[in-house]
Chain A
Amino acid sequence: MTSVPAVSTPHGTVAIRSENLCRYYRMGENVIRAVDGVSIDVHPGEFVALLGSSGSGKSSVLNLFAGLDRPTSGSVVVQDRDLSKLSREELAKYRLRVVGMVFQSFNLIPSMTVTENVELPMRFAEVERSRRESLTREALDRVGLSARLNHKPSELSGGEQQRAALARALINRPQILLADEPTGNLDSHTGSEIMDMVRAFNRDLGMTVVMVTHERALAERYSQRMIFLADGKLVDDKPNPAMPGARG
């Protein structure tokens, strides 16, 4: 796995940089400031947790990092590309090649088998069928789902579904993994299994991970850095002292 071509800054290199990032929504007469002037640098290979209560704006920030949403103002720069300036087509390519996403509700397509779900991003990437099959097997093997290849999501446990989602997120070998409450629908034991996998990808493959969670304990256990959001604003950004190699 190659590391992220980093953005050079006076303070070192960054994988993701947001500057004065804002995302406002209009609800009738009112303007909701979901993200309000957030500036974050995420370094290559770093495991960052975005923490905050419900409605703090952490998922909105993640969607902006994923290129699923566009900022009202400010910028998100990933791999020298300002996401706010990319076309819809370029953003789709960015989501396909640069980032992988896992969600709280797994978001597997219910009518497809595990294999079909995992190989779907490769169809969009126009990977040859023969290569797709071997890569899918390899990815499912890595997350321990070799015995569930032809099962549909409804036939799997929550943990298995999240593992399948993880395999799908990593199938096109992205440099950044964005996880939105990945353990939110799992029991603690299964959640730990999933988080162990995510940490393994981060450590072994040098993958940059940005995880949204509201569980501080989970963030302290796995992330190198914790960023706290409240009412769309960044309120704290500190290294996790419990983790070796955390940046100050």
Chain B
Amino acid sequence: MAAHAHPVVHEAPKGFIRKYIFSTDHKIIGIQYYLLALFSVFIGIILSLLMRLHLIAPNVELPFFGQMTPEQYLALMTMHGTIMVFFVLTTAPQSGFGNYFLPIQIGAPDMAFPRLNMLSFWVTFAALIVMLAAFFVAGGPGGVAGGAPISGWTAYTPLSAIGPIAGPGLGMGQTLWILSLALFAGASLMGALNFITTTLDLRTKGMSLMRMPLTVWAWFVTAILALLGFAVLLGAGILLLLDRTAGTSFFVPAGLVVSDTQIPHKGGSPLLWQHLFWFFGHPEVYIAILPGMGVTSHVLSTFARKPIFGYRAMVYAIFAIALLGLSVWGHHMFVSGMSPYSALAFSLLTMSIGVPSAIKTFNWIGTLWGGQIRLTTAMLFAIGFVSLFVTGGLSGLFLAQPAVDLPLHDTYFVVGHFHMIMGVAAIFGIFAATYFWFPKMFGRFLNERIGKIHFWITFIGVYAIFMPMHFIGLSGHPRRYADTTAVQFLAQLDPVHTFMTVAAVITGAAQLLFLFNFFWGLWKGEKAPDINPWKATSLEWTVPSPPPHDNFQGRFPTVYRGPYEYSVPGAAEDYTPQNAPDTGQTASRQ
């Protein structure tokens, strides 16, 4: 390859459409993903609030929608779960921030395959449109839920496999749901391929693997999980579509009678769907949470002004979590009648995830210990992430044991557990990333005062919503019940439901603060004083805010050190950027 005497600077495309709509710039694509997730999360929140209101007032007629039926409740639940898991928790932390910052943090001008990157965003966009279209087709539960399916985000067979006869929304609504997930899986595969290739091949000089920020490690390992998991989900989705449309019997058992009608399929295995789905579905939990772990490490180190405690252990722990995460899908199926020996194996593997998780938690606390902690909003959300990760993780240890899982399965305990860990912990990772990187992405700060109010209401709010779920779960409250008034022992738990609903409404309203802060900050936020307002070390803080089209204007940095050199003894300042040369006297340049 020819050597260059001058930097190769790439002009950004000129037209609005090429620059902002069909852009191949990873930064624009990252923002597109983020905005898609932001739109989706508010739909998800509205759906959950409607459910929570229905739970405390099942007989009240909602304005515009009328009284909610149980089927409508189930459809809202299905769409809430699906939209949140795929279009928020998978999209924002990985595709959003990963797209924006992975290339910059490793010193690359863009993703390895920019056009594939653009394609993967637009396929994700199409997937969202198809998913939302399910609300507007016929044959559903109607009302607020429209034509949406009622089979949950896991779409268990045979319920999801035999068409409209199985219930409202299971005709066209369910078909659209599967098509949407197939599109989403395809887009995620393209994205994962891009992330891995970029990380392996486009690191700048000196950026050895063990000098990569932990965010990059998290996005990299997440992409590996996505590459392996989404491929299987795609296959499973095709089998399910064939069962629904081509008359095959992969998942539909023989002799199935629904609504007095014999279903003309034979010999399929409903459990096969569960195996295929959870082979993807459990890694999906880590696809949602690992990027948050990376961001938390990054933010904690920055605002504790200390190197991350045990960098290598953190890297190995990410790998251990991912590897174990690929082999524990059976713990979602303890009540499926699986062999106790299989259950034991799945159980032991699941509980062993506690070890790398504990390593990470220990190291986060070790990072904070003795640090000069600056409680910025980003830092608060990162600490909040650690809190939620511990809380949600500990209840996972209960559920990992078959003997405990049998009574707790399909109760609110499970709902509380996964909302804590993959729901709000991952959301806290997104918030930490947003408050932390906003000045880099837009050159302006988010308002810290509003940010802190947002944090405290959200932090206390999510505990108020999801902790009581563990208790009503322990007392036997099943999940997915639309109306508890007719069940006497559940009626006693109504005050708890009321408490959770009030907490949910307040916490949901607090997110409007964030929305205001975000859009106000875009145009009116306080301008960042320089390119590195947090005095941080990684490469994104060495380029302008926002970074130019190819990030480094053709002058790619050389990396001399690891990503977390804070408060190095003898250094002139308490941080040493990764591209500061080894002069024997670190960070002494003024």
Q: Do A and B bind each other?
A: no
Spell out B's residues near A (CB within 8 Å).
Answer: none
Residues on A lying within 8 angstroms of B by beta carbon are none
